[in-house]
Structure 1
């Protein structure tokens, strides 16, 4: 359960604001106006703090309910601007398009790629195959992982195989475009956890009781350990 102790606003106000923020291409000021129209006076800076504080916690709770992904991965990285500087969001999907994992890094190199693979494999297990672009750093990361394995992970550096993950990036970029860049690496990482979570909810990646008949909003509240407000 999330700890909302000491918060001035009700839980449902906080959750609806952070859900809207990561579900749709909205700015914090858009949400401030939308809440005012509903009779709730909340400053955009408060919504910003809620997003940074609670989104990674909801995403962490949701991981316990995530369905297994396939063993054939497509891995790639896309760009996210933080304090006016491009950073790198490593992402992978399986061949069905289900999100494997994600990781925001400051650099694009072998060490960053290996951190991503280590995180993904700790959560999902090792893949049988990984498709990636011609990046030498990404290949070097898998080579280092394979050096300690009895059963090697097959690497396929074929561009057309990665079309599915490149297309999947668009859903993330569509939401982050109106965020106008992040002010810190921490805020970027925390908010992106929420954006990825909503994207996975839409793809039906969580085993939630009654999920087949509930909305995406209901699933978000369920993963946050709350009942959707009426």
Structure 2
């Protein structure tokens, strides 16, 4: 893990700060709704304070979360979704694996081969090895980028096969509506990097979603969250 989280010069205890950040990134809640939920528990905090906590501690917690170990048997599902910011279209390019785990996301102003290449290069750098297979929709930019970046990887291009990547956009869309959009691409990039890391931690893999397994997974995830937030269990 990276260096411990510091709460110096914050008058609220770490438990409250970590709880507020968890609420904001884990559920489709606006800052004002988080403020209201804290007030119900007797904690009088303004939504602007919650915003500052999210900006400061969200990335700090995320840096201390362990990423899923990459494997050459992984299957990458790639897709992009349009996000309108200040009247201009941007694309959020996302890659998930066979379990629905978000591997990486990148906000770009283009939807072409160069943008697809940038995503693939980032993925290879972060994962350290290519996947067994890459699955996309029929956007030609993926095939062109794959030939240049990782030509030996099998590529399947079919809209029906890529439901996993397309479904991964749904939680983000719910958050986008709750937040009433984003003010700038850099704010979107900063938000999704934390949002997806928190979701990766708390949502169980598709292979173990029975009720008992889900319950145990969530208990384990909460223990990890408290550890990275430097909270006593």
Same-fold call, TM > 0.5?
A: yes
5 Å-filtered alignment, 1:5-24, equals 5-24=8-27
Q: CA–CA distance in 1 between the matches of 2:166 and 2:91?
A: 14
> Do the aligned partners of residues 186 and 49 (structure 1) sit closer, same or farther apart at CA in structure 2, a change above 3 Å counting?
farther
* Alpha-carbon shift at residue 92 of structure 1 (Å): 1.6
**Hey, what's the Cα distance between the residues in 2 that align with 1:46 and 1:183?**
19
Q: Which has the higher contact order (CA 8 A, sep 6+)?
A: 1
RMSD: 2.4
Q: CA deviation at 1:225?
A: 4.4
CA distance in 1, matches of 2:70, 2:150: 22
Change (3 A) 1:115 1:164: same
Match of 1:68 in 2: 70
Pick aligned residue for 1:41 from 30, 40, 44:
44
- Which deviates further from its counterpart, 138-147 or 193-202? 138-147
How many angstroms apart in 1 are the aligned matches of 2:84 and 2:225?
26
What secondary structure, in the 3-state scheme, does the structure 2 residue paired with 1:35 have? helix
TM-score (normalised: structure 2): 0.82
Give 1:166 deviation, angstroms.
0.9
SS in 2 for 1:214: helix
Contact 1:127 1:153 in 2 (8 A): yes
Q: Give 1:228 shift.
A: 5.6
Instruction: Calculate the TM-score normalised by the size of structure 1.
Output: 0.83
Partner of 1:105: 108
Task: Indicate conservation of the 8 Å contact 1:175/1:195, yes or no.
Answer: no
Which position in structure 2 is the counterpart of 1:169? 169
Matched pairs, number: 218
Question: Equivalents in 1 of 2:179, 2:232: separation in Å?
Answer: 26
Secondary structure of the residue aligned to 2:168 is: helix
Q: Note the alpha carbon deviations across 1:169-225, whole angstroms, 9 max, x for none.
A: 2123223320111123232222212210122113347xxxxx757254333223x24
For residues 1-230 of structure 1, the aligned pairs below 5 Å read: 1-62=4-65, 64-68=66-70, 70-124=73-127, 125-146=129-150, 152-204=152-204, 212=217, 214=219, 216-222=221-227, 224-227=228-231
| Inter-partner Cα distance in structure 1 for 2:155 and 2:230 | 42
Q: Is the 8 A contact 2:34 2:47 kept in 1?
A: yes
Displacement of 1:84 after TM fit?
A: 4.5
Q: In structure 1, how many angstroms separate the alpha carbons of the residues matched to 2:107 and 2:201? A: 20
* Structure 2 unaligned blocks of 5 or more: 206-215
3-state SS of 2:57 partner: helix
Which whole-Å CA distance do the structure 2 matches of 1:28 and 1:83 have between them? 20
Deviation, 1:24, is: 0.9
